[in-house]
A and B are shown apart, each in its own frame.
Chain A
């Protein structure tokens, strides 16, 4: 009988789907973090509702837009920050022996993107209930929201890995490192979202959307290349 040599290489997609399932299962078992995130979104929207109701009803569209993205931005930083930080060094070593670093970063990005998309849709729903819905082009707005969730997830995932390496107060460091990197994306997102609010012609948003997509591709590619170096430590 022939002795078994190396195990067959596990395809990248299988590794990613396994890691993704693991992340969702962990999230579900530690519901405190997820609950905290949802409560954060709910309470900020409610505070906005209370303060705007003092002046009778709905905020003007620019304020609606600004507050929406500020809430999403901080929710994203809180949500992504715990991704790498909640793992102990022992856990990391264990994953290191099992799967490649590329699978880890891609799975983490995908997981964060799905999480942030959920948070974004929830925020939109709560916003519509409490603060009204001045959006005139809902399809464009939701498409922009999907791009935003994807963009926040891709940029912040590597940043959270970097902040986790630094130790100490990771959340503060993550905000410091993440903001300058996210400003280009935020500028584009807010512009498209304003166009969707005002119901402008979609041709006006086309260039910004293409730039957003290109930016996402760049960030994913650079993260994919750089994460192995970060992981090796």
Chain B
């Protein structure tokens, strides 16, 4: 009973953190002021990469030294999920108040998500090759990753098949929201309820849970997560500014 209550509290807190992160991300992406947060992103990513390779890590069966991938692979997924949510929120905002700016922001955020997703798949696949002995396995989490990338690939194909700007913006915003809603069970529910996963943090290998992530790994991991999320917002800001400038230039 108390476990269920704890679970509900944790879910609520993570929803609030997520919403706050998306809101803050949108402010950062649209900000034109001083850029302390970019320096913070650089410091956190470089610092966590160096520390991640150097600090002592606990010896765990099967994963051994490869547990250091936690400092690279997992933060990339966090960044991807965050920037995907930002993209969807921009799509919803577009449907409420259509403007070319919101469409560009949603598109660029989706592209950043694709980049981080590809990086996440690459680091995960490399890790799996040396830990599980295969580049790819039919694991619920890996299926989810593949589907997320396929959805955004389809989103780009859809955008490419329109000649009218407004129609493209509206229809691709609709697909962005719809595909995400249809993929929610695969991304967030199925990996948790299907018990036979090899992925760390599941029943199989040791990995990310309260016993394995000891006090030396924790700060580096959190620094890496924040750094990669900030980096994904930064990337989105730069690419959306470029596209907006091109858009204004074309109008003149």
Interface size on A, residues (CB 8 A): 32
Most chain B CB atoms below 10 A, which of A180, A222, A229, A232 = A180
Given A173-B157, A176-B154, also A183-B186 (CB < 8 A): yes
Q: With CB as the reference atom, state the residue of chain B lying closest to A181.
A: B182
Interface contact B181-A218, CB-CB below 8 Å: yes
Instruction: Knowing A218-B184, A233-B167, say if A183 contacts B179 (CB, 8 Å).
Output: no
Is B147 positioned at the interface, with any CB of A under 8 Å from its CB?
A: yes
Contact B154 A180 (CB under 8 A): yes
For residue B167, which residues in chain A have a CB less than 8 angstroms away from its CB? Answer: 165, 233
Does residue B115 face the partner (Cβ distance < 8 Å to A)?
no
Stretch at the interface among A16-24, A25-33, A44-52, A207-215: A207-215
Partner of B179, one of A181, A232, A233: A181
Which B residues are in CB contact (< 8 Å) with A155? 182
Q: Smallest Cβ distance from A203 to chain B, in angstroms?
A: 14
In the bound complex, what is the Cα–Cα distance between A79 and B122 (angstroms)?
37
B216 interfacial contact with A, CB 8 Å:
no
Specify which of A162, A165, A184, A215 is in contact with B147 (CB 8 Å cutoff). Answer: A184
In the assembled complex, the Cα of A180 lies from the Cα of B170 at a distance in Å of 20
Whether the pair A177, B175 counts as a contact (CB closer than 8 A) is yes
Is chain A's binding surface mostly helix, strand, loop or mixed?
A: helix
Q: Assuming A162-B171, A211-B189, A233-B167, is B151 touching A180 (CB within 8 A)?
A: yes
B154 near A218: Cβ-Cβ < 8 Å:
no
Contact A180-B171, Cβ < 8 Å, known A211-B190, A214-B185, A219-B181: no
Whether B143 is near chain A, meaning CB under 8 Å from some CB there, is: yes
Closest to A228 in B: B95
A87 to B26, CA, bound (A): 40
Interface size class of B (residues with CB under 8 A): 20 to 34
Distance in angstroms between the alpha carbons of A1 and B154 in the assembled complex: 60
Are A229 and B185 in contact, with the CB atoms below 8 A? no
* Binary interface encoding of chain B residues 187-212 relative to chain A, with 1 for a CB under 8 A from any of its CBs, else 0: 00110010000000000000000000
Question: In the complex the two chains form, is B178's CB within 8 Å of A158's CB?
Answer: yes
Q: How far is the CB of A63 from chain B (nearest CB, A)?
A: 17
Q: Is the CB of A166 within 8 A of B158?
A: yes
Q: Write the nearest CB–CB distance from A171 to chain B, whole angstroms.
A: 13
> Residue B162 at the A interface, CB < 8 A?
yes
Check if A223 is an interface residue, CB within 8 A of chain B.
yes
Contacts of B161 in A (CB 8 A): 166-168, 173
Q: List 20 A-B contacts (CB under 8 A).
A: A158-B174, A158-B178, A162-B175, A166-B162, A168-B161, A176-B158, A180-B151, A180-B153, A181-B183, A183-B143, A183-B147, A187-B143, A187-B186, A187-B190, A211-B193, A214-B185, A218-B185, A226-B174, A226-B177, A229-B95
A-B pairs with lowest CB-CB distance, top 10:
A184-B186, A180-B150, A222-B181, A180-B151, A181-B182, A166-B161, A177-B154, A226-B174, A165-B171, A183-B147
The chain B residues found within 8 Å of chain A, CB to CB, are 95, 143, 147, 150-151, 153-154, 157-158, 161-162, 167, 170-171, 173-175, 177-179, 181-186, 189-190, 193
